[in-house]
Amino acid sequence: MIFLKNILTIITLSFLIGYHVSSQTEYPRITVTDDIEIIKISEHSYIHISYIDTLQYRRIASNGFILVNNGKALLFDTPMTEALTKDLVNWITDSLETVIIGFVPNHWHNDCMGGLDYLHHLGIKSYAFDLTREIAKSRNLPIPQNGFSDSLTLKLDNLEVVCKYHGAAHSMDNIVAWVPSERILFAGCMVKDIRTQNLGNTIDGDLNEYPNTIKTVMKEYQYARIVIPGHGQFGGVELLKHTLDLATQ
């Protein structure tokens, strides 16, 4: 009986993972360059994926988020380099025919704000959690222009996105961006792809607070339709539960 129960559990998990993977093909995927891809996940929302080659980890893919409405766009996270950021910005402005009016990084790492200087050069306003600005300043990194202490609501006419800090996890300053009307959560690097077997790089984070932060996020965004991690495939709220499991191992 126990054997049968274990077999059924394995089959169920395999089905859920298989469904998660196959569901990615339902969304249009656009190749911008060899190192940048775009996935359209709703009328107003896009995931940008950028790739870089490293000696330590080989080829790394990083996710970011784009929200568009009525000819305007908000950008969440940049690729790691200025060159990749330039290619992404050109695609957003040319292909989507939008003007980028604001940028928000998930946290201070270069897979979130590696292209910040370039955005400032273009005159794009930047916003970040206060601690992100403090860390950037202490490390002689480009500093986002405008800070917020708890949460920030940005609007594209009738469309809004709420950026909020829930606690330390992957980094001390990681936030999330929530689009209520779309039920889309850009959670960034604190949340892990369903296939990931560990929490990855936590040297700048807090392993003690990680589970508490994820529990808070799970409770507040329990009705999320799409959850986007900082790396890997997007999914639903199962990514939050998976991350909590990893954080409590």
Q: Beta strands 99-104 and 72-76: pairing type?
A: parallel
Mean pLDDT, residues 219-245 taken together: 98
Range from 17-21, 177-181, 226-230, 235-239 carrying the lowest mean pLDDT: 17-21
Position 17 pLDDT exceeds 50: no
Residue 13 has pLDDT above 90, yes or no: no
- Cα–Cα distance, 174 to 163 (Å, whole number): 10
pLDDT of residue 26: 85
User: Average pLDDT in the 61-90 region?
Assistant: 98
State the pLDDT at residue 125: 98
Rounded distance, CA 247 to CA 241, Å? Answer: 10
Residue 170 is a catalytic residue: yes
Q: How many Cα atoms are found within 13 Å in the side-chain-facing hemisphere of 62? A: 28
Residue 56: what pLDDT?
Answer: 72
Question: In 3D, which of 209, 208, 216 has the Cα closest to residue 240?
Answer: 216
pLDDT: which is higher, 213 or 3: 213
Class level of CATH domain 2-247: alpha beta
Reference 163, options 176, 146, 174; nearest CA is 176
Q: Which of 173, 198, 203 is nearest to 188 (CA)?
A: 173
Boundaries of every domain in the chain = 2-247
231: annotated active-site residue: yes
Catalytic residue, candidates 35, 77, 111, 193:
111
Set 77, 170, 174, 193: catalytic member:
170
109 is annotated as an active-site residue? yes
Work out the mean pLDDT of the chain and round it to a whole number.
91
Mean pLDDT of 176-197: 97
% of the chain with per-residue pLDDT over 70:
90
Q: Are 93 and 68 in contact (CB under 8 A)?
A: no
Selected catalytic residue, list 72, 120, 215, 231: 231
Query: pTM (2 decimals)?
Result: 0.89
